[in-house]
Amino acid sequence: MRLVANARKTLVSGHGATVAMLLVLGVLVPLLSLLAPEDSPLHLSGFTVALLGKYLCLAMLALALDLLWGYAGLLSLGHAAFFALGGYAMGMHLMREIGPRGVYGDPLLPDFMVFLDWTDLPWFWWGFDSFLFAGLMALLVPMLLALVFGWLTFRSRVSGVYFSIMTQALTFALMLAFFRNEMGFGGNNGLTDFKDGLGFELQSDSTRALLLTLTALSLLTIYLVLRVLLRTRMGGVVKALRDDEERVRFLGYPVEQYKLLVFVASAAIAGLAGALYVPQVGIINPGEFQPLNSIEIAIWVAVGGRGTLYGPIWGAVIIAFAESLLTAAFPEVWLFALGALFLLVTLLAPSGLAGMFNREPER
């Protein structure tokens, strides 16, 4: 009886509901989209499958910010930058897959470079014809940026609202840079019109189902790994940073190193989310760097319940779904509705949606 009670408690908890939701979206939904007849009410169109994949990418991004803000106490208002950089890395590979091959079998210049009368491929595009290289860059570039920015910031003991402002300035500067045509990333239009990836047609139903499965399982794996790591001694130190940084420093722990580690790990997760986002949405442009996007990520985390891991996942999925509905029917109402939701949650339910579940006591 005790085993049954414990199993029931796990299923109704936030953790159990999150695992079940990701397994359903990663396994059951793709199977229904491929196997159910088109006239069946269980059949899901390719557009719906791609939309669900987009929601899970945004949930991964919210999870990345929750690791930094909810556990280390560092509110970043520039996480859209890491997400966009990962997306650009994957977009560059997909652009290299478009069109015929040259004399030596290499892809020709992307269309926007031909339009701008460029004759040679820029050096920073070298290697992106390889999927493995592009995947590594989607992780390494955000990590390198977080490493340099975090090292300069944390060694100066910048924290609190000053850290938030500096991260917002970072993503704003990157947005202005990527808008310039001479940067070599497509300017205002960005990178789009992707056709194939690893030989698979991106617009086909089977590819969209595969991408949804890959996204759901990646999110589930990251969620479970973080859940385990945050219960270790290292996780205890990270949570102590959030509660009383000066006491942790007084006890002799290298505070700046722990902060930098969490910041770089969070950037890597955001970069992976961006890399999975681009082939499912079909475009990446400088608009993804907007500071407003980073603020919206923080709202997802706050509404879902920061410091829980599963709360931000639900917050991102629910708010993204609501945005899809409201922007289609009442586009002028959406921002007001989002602001009202944030105020209500802040005033009436500070623990967010996670407060609806039984929170496990932290050790």
Closest to 159 (Cα-Cα) out of 246, 223, 32: 246
How far apart are the two ends of the chain, measured CA to CA in Å? 26
Burial 89-99 (b: 16+ CB within 10 A, else e): bbbbbbbbbee
Residue 356 has pLDDT above 70, yes or no: no
Q: What is the pLDDT of residues 10-47, one digit of tens each?
A: 445 788 889 999 999 999 999 888 888 887 777 888 89
Q: What is the rounded CA–CA span in Å between residue 130 and residue 245?
A: 43
For the range 162-168, what are the long-range contacts, defined as Cβ-Cβ under 8 Å and sequence gap of 24 or more? 163/74, 163/75, 163/76, 164/75, 164/76, 164/77, 165/77, 166/78, 167/76, 167/77, 167/78, 167/79, 167/81, 167/294, 168/77, 168/78, 168/291, 168/294
> Each residue of 54-87: pLDDT tens digit?
999 999 999 999 999 999 999 999 999 999 999 9
Please state, in angstroms and rounded to a whole number, the distance separating the CA atoms of residues 286 and 181.
11
Q: Is the pTM of this model over 0.85?
A: yes
- By the 8 A CB rule, do 268 and 143 touch? yes
CA distance 355 to 308: 10
| Partners of 191 in the β-ladder | 284
Mean pLDDT, all residues of the chain? 88
Residue 2 clears pLDDT 60, i.e. is over it: no
- In the chain, domain spans: 2-356
How far apart CA 44 and CA 36 sit, in angstroms, is 8
What per-residue confidence (pLDDT) applies to 102? 56
d(CA 198, CA 78): 31
